[in-house]
Amino acid sequence: MEFVADVGTLDPELLQLPDVSSFAVKSNPYIADELFAQWLSLPDTGRLIKSLLDDAKAGVAFNVGGNSNSTSGSSSSPLPSMFPTGGTPPLSPRSSSGSPRTVKRAGIGPSSLGSPLKLVSEPVKEVIPQFYFQNGRPPPNELKQQCVSRIDQLFYGHADGLQIQEFKSVTKEICKLPSFFSSALFRRIDADCTGVVTRDAFVDYWVNSNMMTMDMATQIYKILKQLDCKYLVQEDFKPVLRELLATHPGLEFLQSTPEFQERYAETVIYRIFYYVNRSGSGHLTLRELKRGNLIAAMQHADEEEDINKVLRYFSYEHFYVIYCKFWELDTDHDFLIDKENLIRYGNHALTYRIVDRIFSQVPRKFTCTVDGKMGYEDFVYFMLSEEDKSSEPSLEYWFKCIDLDGNGVLTPNEMQFFYEEQLHRMECMAQEPVLFEDILCQMIDMIGPERESHLTLHDLKGSKLSGNVFNILFNLNKFMAFETRDPFLIRQEREDPTLTEWDRALLNSIQRSFDACLKLGTGSKMGLATTSNPIAYRLLSLWKAKCTFSMPIFCCARYWQLYLLERAVFWKASTGRKGERCSGVLLRNSYLRTPVYS
């Protein structure tokens, strides 16, 4: 009866009964029970089982390859009459996993005494190679030997180790990292602050800990982050940017202005976290670092001598425009901006309602602790969102502003609330007003949402014209520029798709500022408005020598004009030169590299 208890685990297909339908056995499991019970009741089965038990008690080994000594065994191995002649005997009952249901006994093997039980071998265990390594995959021996050999060459003659100024070659040639990571890597290895890194210490950190086999994003992440953290914060990037400012040829002119260096480093860090830290938590994870383009931008900055060609994050021109915009709005120069200051942004381009939403900290909580004030970091996030509404961080920023009830959709009522002020401003400027119903149809056609009753963030991210929707709702200047856009500019944008809206906005701002600087001297008799005038270039050169950290060049036209006139009189009295010519490009570069004037 003990055998019958195991019948419930039988797989009907293992019976291999040609005359019985497999479907019938599966649909009626009791058939298998009946067949097994009938097989046990046959006389031959009883004799077979008794013979096997006697052999087991006597300690006789089972004969697997031949016939048994039992009287019931023969070469013909007659089967019970329930199986057809010449048919295949059924297999022994097995579990669904495929392993044979057998009782293992020491020194006993299966018998071939005419038993319908088929011998099934033990399943072979598949050995799965290790695929996860907590500290990274170990390097191949050949690669490891090559790396150690190169390390020996660089450390040759430095038995006491390398100092920090000698470590840059190791960073570039062995680690293949940007050169401005040299100090950060040096201090990471020199944990005891001895001032030197020995050959053994470097091999232990870079080779033995498998750092050499990791991708560059992981290497930079491990070098910069604090040991007890699983993310990067803004402070972790400051050592790298300090070395970039000290060593990059494109930033060499800032070495005499440490305050301006600090602002440049802060702006670069804010831009990095704006684009790469997509969660907005201020904690930059390894996953976010790998998904962003920061590593490629760092490599570009290390290879490019002109820092302004590195448009992602590191451009000095971009920083200069951001900082000067902030300084221009900050009239009392307390490094804080209130609502009345921000409403003047872009020549009063924004509406009061959108400014109120920004200062309610709905799109992003301010880092400034002063109530009703916006700090420099908050302004950088705002300006990046305002000038490039095609980026995902910008779309999320303005979507939260327009979504008054925070339900994740923009309804016509919410959009009309912001457009009402735009409509009133157009009427005050004697512009032909455009009714909201017409504007709503235009926005729906531009976005093409899944449902025309509302807009979602997913709809906006799927359209290239999403930024125009926000300009229509709260930026009158950009709205009017879009309505009267020049076809030539549209063709120009298509010819250079590598430039983002942010890049184009910064280029236009730089050019406007430069032109305004030149035109400030038009009223004087010196004729400072032309780029070919040598006095203009000389004045900018003299002005550069007086730079401090106080005032950008185009923040206060009156002070700048008075200074130009003062220097013009000095130049005329001291030299009297005429007719010298200088390149407009040279003048522009001199202007852009001039930090501030007090």
Q: Is the pTM of this model over 0.75?
A: no
- Give me 118's structure tokens: 């088929």
* CA dist., res. 3 & res. 92, Å (int): 12
- Give the orientation angle of helix 376-387 with respect to helix 258-276, to 10 degrees: 50
Residue 433 has pLDDT above 50, yes or no: yes
pLDDT in the model for residue 59: 78
Q: Which residues have CB under 8 Å from 307's CB, separation 6+?
A: 248, 250, 251, 301, 314, 315, 316
Q: What percent of the chain has a predicted confidence (pLDDT) above 70?
A: 66
- Give me 386's structure tokens: 């305002």
* CA dist., res. 596 & res. 265, Å (int): 17
Q: Output 240 or 509, whichever has higher pLDDT.
A: 240
pLDDT in tens, 161-186: 999 999 999 999 999 999 999 999 99
Instruction: Give 379's pLDDT tier (boundaries 50, 70, 90).
Output: very high
Q: Output 258 or 598, whichever has higher pLDDT.
A: 258
- The answer to whether 202 touches 154, Cβ cutoff 8 Å, is no
CA neighbor of 558 nearest in space, from 504, 597, 588: 597
Residue 557 has pLDDT above 80, yes or no: no
Q: DSSP H helical segments within 403-500, as ranges?
A: 412-428, 436-447, 457-461, 466-474, 476-483, 487-495
Triad 366, 357, 390: Cα angle to 5°: 85
Using a 10 angstrom Cβ sphere, with 0-12 exposed, 13-18 middle and 19 or more buried, the burial of residue 230 is exposed
For 158-222, the DSSP string reads: -TT-B-GGG-HHIIIIIS---GGGHHHHHHHH-TT--S-B-HHHHHIIIIIT-GGGS-HHHHHHH
Burial 429-446 (b: 16+ CB within 10 A, else e): eeeeebebeebbebbbee
Of 187-196, 315-324, 510-519, the one with minimum mean pLDDT is 510-519
Using a 10 angstrom Cβ sphere, with 0-12 exposed, 13-18 middle and 19 or more buried, the burial of residue 417 is middle
DSSP-derived secondary structure letter, 595? -
* CA dist., res. 364 & res. 382, Å (int): 9
- Give me 247's structure tokens: 């060593």
- Give me 499's structure tokens: 């430039």
Place of tokens 């990095």: 272
- The answer to whether 389 touches 427, Cβ cutoff 8 Å, is no
Place of tokens 């570039």: 172
- The answer to whether 461 touches 395, Cβ cutoff 8 Å, is yes
Number of C-beta neighbours around residue 471 at 10 A: 22
pLDDT in the model for residue 322: 93
- Give the orientation angle of helix 238-247 with respect to helix 182-189, to 10 degrees: 130
Residue 369 has pLDDT above 60, yes or no: yes
Using a 10 angstrom Cβ sphere, with 0-12 exposed, 13-18 middle and 19 or more buried, the burial of residue 248 is buried
- The answer to whether 294 touches 304, Cβ cutoff 8 Å, is no
pLDDT in the model for residue 569: 39
